[in-house]
Amino acid sequence: MDFTLEPLPFAEDALEPHISQRTVEFHYHKHHKGYMTKLDKALENDERRAMSLEQIMRTSQGGIFNNAAQVWNHSFYWQSIAPSSSTEPSAGALRDQIERDFGSVAALKKELHTVAAGAFGSGWAWLVFDRDKKCLQVISTSDAENPLSDTCLPLLTIDVWEHAYYLDYQNDRGAYLDAVLDKLINWEFAEANFGSQGS
Ligand code: MN3
């Protein structure tokens, strides 16, 4: 794999006032980049250097898994949020599936809020599509874990590590989640992921 970080999909101040430029700077240049730097160093003389990031995650444990997964999770997070997002998914396949599985978009947002707020310690909240059960689910993972597998297709994620919100909201994770869920969720990204499920 190429050990350079892809650029942010928006300007560093573009999420203001919901997520500050200072948070995005630290989050991207220190945390996200830090995981990539550590992964690069850990794989210095390792045949896994030639693998894709996804292959490295599948075949590694411990520090190498943690750094690889955190690189992947953060790239996915930066795409899961966007400035001036539409507040709801537009009419279409994902919206139909949301209404089937949760009743409404509002109920899905409430479930995301509950799961993300209730996740103990550091981790991630996810909207995923279960290919076996053919349904959407909201789940959380701890630390660097992610739900990526043959049966589980991630559609969007919310970072609930404290570094994602502490500078802006201190210990009030709920206020950060309100801002993300009401103003920043990139429904077009979730729709594109949902559309890639195959059949
Ligand atoms: Mn983070």
Q: What is the CATH number of the domain that holds 65?
A: 1.10.287.990
Residue-level pLDDT at 198:
61
Q: Are residues 190 and 119 part of one domain?
A: yes
Mean pLDDT of the chain: 96
Given CA atoms 39, 44, 47, 51 in this order, what sign does their dihedral have? Answer: positive
For 49, the domain range is 21-80
CA of 31 from ligand 1 middle (Å) equals 6
- Residue 83 has phi, psi (to 5 degrees) of -70, 150
Residue-level pLDDT at 174:
98
134 occurs within a structural domain: yes
CA of 84 from ligand 1 middle (Å) equals 21
For 81-185, where are the E strands, in sequence order? Answer: 123-130, 135-142, 152-159
Q: Are residues 109 and 70 part of one domain?
A: no
CA of 88 from ligand 1 middle (Å) equals 24
3 occurs within a structural domain: no
185 occurs within a structural domain: yes
1 occurs within a structural domain: no
In total, how many domains does the chain have?
2
Question: 199 pLDDT band (50/70/90 cuts)?
Answer: very low
Residue-level pLDDT at 87:
83
CA of 103 from ligand 1 middle (Å) equals 30
Q: Are residues 114 and 191 part of one domain?
A: yes
CA of 25 from ligand 1 middle (Å) equals 11
CA of 70 from ligand 1 middle (Å) equals 8
CA of 56 from ligand 1 middle (Å) equals 20
Q: Are residues 33 and 63 part of one domain?
A: yes
Flag whether pLDDT at 86 surpasses 90: no
Residue-level pLDDT at 139:
97
How do residues 142-166 score in pLDDT, each as one tens digit?
999 999 988 999 999 999 999 999 9
Return the amino acid letter for 161.
W
Q: Are residues 183 and 98 part of one domain?
A: yes
120 occurs within a structural domain: yes
Q: Are residues 68 and 153 part of one domain?
A: no
CA of 21 from ligand 1 middle (Å) equals 14
CA of 86 from ligand 1 middle (Å) equals 23
The pTM score is: 0.97
How do residues 93-111 score in pLDDT, each as one tens digit?
999 999 999 999 999 999 9
Calculate ∠ Cα 133-136-139, nearest 5°: 105
Q: How far apart are the C-alpha atoms of 61 and 143, rounded to whole Å? A: 13
